Structures are given as C-alpha cells and as structure tokens.
Amino acid sequence: MNERRVVITGIGCLSPLGNDLTSTWEGMKAGRSGISRITQLDPEPFDCKIAGEVKNFEPDGYFNVPKDSRRADRYVQFAVAASKMAMTDSGLDVSTIDPRRFGVMVGSGIGGLATLENEHTTYMTRGPKRVSPFTIPMMISNIASGIISMEYGLKGPNMVIVTACATSNHNIGEAWRIIKFGDADGFLCGGAEATILPMGLCGFGNMKALSTRNDEPERASRPFDKNRDGFVMGEGAGVVMIEELEHAKKRGAKIYAELIGYGVSADAYHLSAPSPDGSGPAYAIQMALNHGKKNANEVNYLNAHATSTGLGDIAETKAIKLAFGDHAKKGLMVSSTKSMTGHMLGAAGGIELIASVMAIKDSIVPPTINLEDQDPECDLDCVPNVAREADVKVALSNSFGFGGHNASVLVSRFE
C-alpha cells in the first residue's frame, strides 16, 4: 500500500494578493504586499488596524445554488470557492469516478467566527428567539468539508483536523496518508479562514501577538527582520486536489508536483509559545524527509512558517538548523510568504504548499519582503525582498499552531 504515489493535480486559492492562483502567485513573485488598513470594520478601537483582506470577493458564483452562499460563513465561502477552483483546474469529471473513493479535508483553525459574533449580538439585542437556526451549522469548523462534499457528491472520507495554524498541513498530510493506505484515490484538501473581526483583533491583539505598525501596513509583516513586532492577520483559502498517481495518469491529468512526505509532532511546551530549542518542528521535518526518502541536502527550498513574531522566527531557525545541519546555511533557500499575505492562520499551510509547488513548477523562489535588517539569530538564506530564479526540485512547507502542533509537508518535481 505504501508504494502508492500521490500527486497534486489541481490548485485553488484566495488570498490578500488575489482571488485566484494566477494573481496570488504573480503577487508573490513580484514581492507585493497584500496588507492594508482594515476596511471590513472600523479598526479605530483596536491596537492593530491592519490586515490582509480578501478583496472584491463575490461568493454566489461558486455555489451550485447561489443563494446557498448566504447560509455559509465567510470562511466556508472561501473554502467552497477555492475547492471549485481546484476541482476545475484538475479537470476531474465527477461523473466518471467512484464518489466513495474521493474525500474532502478542508479545515479551519477557528471556524465561523463571524457567525458566532453576529448571532451573539442578535441574542443580546433582540433575544433568543431571533437567533438564526443556522447558527450552529454555519459556525462549526467541519461544515466547509461537509458542504464541499455535497456540492460535488463526494462520499469518501470526509473530516477535518483543527490544529490552529497547522490546520492546512495536517489536513493535506492526513489525506495523503489515507490515499497511501489505499482507502481513497483523491481528496480536495487544505484550509480556509476568515477572522478579521472584533474578536479576532481583540483576542490576538491582547496577547500582544499582532503588529501595530499601523502607519506602514505594507511593511508591517517582516519575518526574520530584527524590527519585527508581531504578525499581521490574513484571510482566504488554499485547497489542492491530490490524487493517487495511476488514477491521475489514467485520466490524463496534468501533474503539478508529487507529494512525497509528511511529518507531525508536538512541542509539549506552552499554550502559544514555541519550544525555544526548535526540537519539535525539527522532528516533524525529519519525519517528512524520511517519508520522502530524501536527504537533507536534497531539499532546495523551504517555505517557512515564520510569522514575524519575536520568539517564533528564532525557534524555527533553530529547528531548520537541527533538521538540515550544514545544509541549512549552505544551499537551502528559506522564505516566508507571510511577509506578503500576512498570517492566514488555518489557511496558511494551504497557500504556502501552493507557493512551494509553484516554486518547483516555475523555478522561482518567492521572497521574504521587508527584510531590511536581518536578525542575526535568523541567520539563514531568507531570499530577501526579491524573488530568485532557481532550479527547485524538492521543497518543504512548515506550519506550526498554538498548542505546540507541528506539521511539515514535502513536495518534489514529478519524475
């Protein structure tokens, strides 16, 4: 069973850089920031007044029945849209497959926060009878996967893993594992998030986790830079179609890359802070390399979790050095696309795996922008400010979540 190979055949995304793959990837290659002053609500009462918003998004066209979008939280709208893009991109005709062999694992770190806020306000101002009967199904974190399966009639494994900012990588990795084990032939998998809301801004802001560089939004997300002051919240979705290789070949699918490894671990250290020695992520990275049968020096590019927080970027640097040894500073390119998108929380890993795949496909490594004075404790080749042409054959994407959850996904050029 473990000899079954898994390839990526479809990509869909929405991000602060654009509402599809082309605009998102072009933005990354150009080193463009998607961060600006918040427009979805009045940001004045909050310490952090900036975020990476998805702009000009119209959900109706992505649902089989357009009015169904009004019974979906914004995070679900993103998830459905990205899934439709990935499905269309893959060229898969669902009428030709066994629907029991195709599953969905599109998760969310926080779920329907907008629904929860709106309906709680309704309860407080208008009483319990005015709360929508759709409140619970609209806000739960698994409902995006459920709705996606209904949109396409996919009856295979359907579930989500919720691990904060590691959510996408865990959902992609476990979908990969299910295909490897023989229980499915394909999955729509990844993550979606929409938390640019009062509770999101208060919750993260009062932890002192968010940047307050409000007068320079485009320069606020600055991973590995000595003057970083916290992350910038982003929103959107990243979803990929993954398939068992022979299934993909039989239908003549285009193949972006091969998914070859997945590693998972826990820091077992702190509620929100990373283990300072980097040992937890290093173990996940090593597991992914082992699964992919790759030596450390065969990895060309690493898309870092690097959120632009003081502790996190240093801990990840240590993890990379532990896992890659001498190669960490001799040939490994490391960049954080969060410098451009902000931190998309449960959607981050989906977008960042897509960036890693496109780096392989186009032989271009996206930059870490705003890297003006590199922290000496983050002493890696962080591809500062300008994208780099490079022959990328193997890439790794890291995602880490509050609670000490670590997940690394390894992709390679398809041979």
Q: How far apart are CA 412 and CA 69, in angstroms?
A: 36
Q: Which residue has the tokens 């904060």?
A: 164
Is 343 an active-site residue?
Answer: yes
Which of 227, 183, 223, 167 minimizes the C-alpha distance to 347? 167
Q: How far apart are CA 285 and CA 165, in angstroms?
A: 16
Query: Which listed residue (291, 343, 382, 405) is catalytic?
Result: 343
Is 327 an active-site residue?
Answer: no
- How far, rounded to the nearest angstrom, does the alpha carbon of residue 76 sit from its chain's CA centroid? 15
Strands 236-244 and 388-389: unpaired
Which uninterrupted H or E stretch holds 106?
strand 102-107
Strands 6-14 and 364-365: unpaired
Please state the length of the chain: 415
Q: How far apart are CA 402 and CA 14, in angstroms?
A: 23
**Contact (Cβ atoms closer than 8 angstroms) between residue 10 and residue 92:** yes
Taking CA 284 as the corner, what is the angle to CA 297 and CA 203, rounded to the nearest 5 degrees? 125
Query: Which listed residue (305, 378, 382, 405) is catalytic?
Result: 305
Strands 388-389 and 364-365: antiparallel
Find the helix packing angle between 279-291 and 310-324, rounded to 10°.
40
Torsion over CA: 200, 201, 206, 212 (sign): positive
DSSP 17-48: TBSSHHHHHHHHHHT----EE--SS--TTSS-
Query: Which listed residue (13, 165, 378, 382) is catalytic?
Result: 165
Q: How far apart are CA 85 and CA 10, in angstroms?
A: 8
Is 305 an active-site residue?
Answer: yes
Strands 186-193 and 102-107: parallel
Which of 343, 347, 387, 327 minimizes the C-alpha distance to 363? 387
Question: Would you please indicate which residues are annotated as catalytic (active-site) residues?
Answer: 165, 305, 343
